[in-house]
Amino acid sequence: MSGTEVKPRLVRCPGCGGDSVYATSNPYRPFCCERCKNLDIGAWAAEHFRVPAEAPPDEQPFGDPRLQ
Ligand SMILES: [Zn+2]
C-alpha cells in the first residue's frame, strides 16, 4: 500500500466539459486551458454587465394634452 502516491485530480472543465487537471501544474484550473478560462470569464461578464438594448417606452395613459 502506497501512501505517497499523488494522482492528479481530474475535474470537469466548466468551459468545454472535458477533463481538466486540478493541480498546481494547471494555472487555468478548474479549466483545462487558457482558452476555456477566457471564454468563461467572457460569459460571466456578459451576464453581469448586460444592459437593456432599448429603454422601455414611456407610457402616458393620461398624458395627451389634446384630450384635455
Ligand atoms: Zn476546457
The total domain count for the chain is: 1
C-alpha cell at 62: 393620461
**Does 64 have pLDDT greater than 90?**
no
Residue 23 within any structural domain of the chain: yes
Neighbour-count burial of 32, counting CB atoms closer than 10 A to its CB (0-12 exposed, 13-18 middle, 19+ buried): buried
CA nearest 38: which of 61, 13, 58, 60?
13
CA of 3 to the centre of ligand 1 (A): 31
CATH of the domain at 28: 3.30.50.10
Q: Is 33 annotated as a binding residue?
A: no
Would the pLDDT of 65 be above 80?
A: no
Annotated binding-site residue? 36: yes
Reported pTM = 0.53
d(CA 51, CA 40) in angstroms, rounded, equals 19
Outline where the chain has alpha helix (H): 34-48
Q: Which amino acid is at 39?
A: L
Question: pLDDT per residue over 30-50, tens digit each?
Answer: 999 999 999 877 777 787 777
Separation of CA 28 and ligand 1 centre (Å):
9
DSSP three-state, residue 33:
coil
**How much distance in Å is there from the Cα of 31 to the middle of ligand 1?**
5
pLDDT value for 28:
95
Average pLDDT in the chain? 82
Domain assignment present for 58: no
Does 53 have pLDDT greater than 90?
A: no
